[in-house]
Amino acid sequence: MLRRLVAGLAAIVLVVEAALLVLVHFVLGRTTANQSMSIAGSDPDVMSKATYAMGAGMGAFLVLCAVLAAVTAIRDRAPGRFGRVVLISAAVTHGVLGVLTAALVNWAAFATMMLILCLLVLTLTSYAARPGDGSGDGAGEDTPPLPPTPPFGEIKPTSP
């Protein structure tokens, strides 16, 4: 029950974050276009369109992550390989951005990024793929388990 709640909450938070990022990039793009800003002589029109494209790309990525988290919550099963890769990349991105926001923005932004990171990591770990539950990639389903090993490994002589 808790893991479904966390995955659903992660989906909601990711949609809100996507909407806010698209809005911020829209405002930045409009400001760049209206004031004809340029950096080192670059074209202001290209800069504003690149800002729009970046906002759309980031928003689409976060919405994809939200859909994957929502599907995970609804099905109550671990995401497949593609879903895990996308959610892990989102978690790593939020970790890196969290460090940058702590250094460049403020602690509230850092706390927000860490909250989203925690929701993503908790979703991934609570829905960890288990052998034989059908959520994995299929590798290792037909292989027998390994024999038990001694607690300290294999004992070998040190001299001949």
At 58, which amino acid appears?
A: M
pLDDT, tens digit, 9 for 90 and up, residues 122-133? 999 998 756 555
At 22, which amino acid appears?
A: V
Q: How far is CA 55 from the centre of its chain?
A: 17
Is 102:120 a contact under the CB 8 Å cutoff?
Answer: no
Q: CB count, 10 Å around CB of 56?
A: 14
pLDDT of residue 129: 58
pLDDT of residue 1: 80
Under the banding of pLDDT at 50, 70 and 90, the label for residue 18 is: very high
Under the banding of pLDDT at 50, 70 and 90, the label for residue 26 is: very high
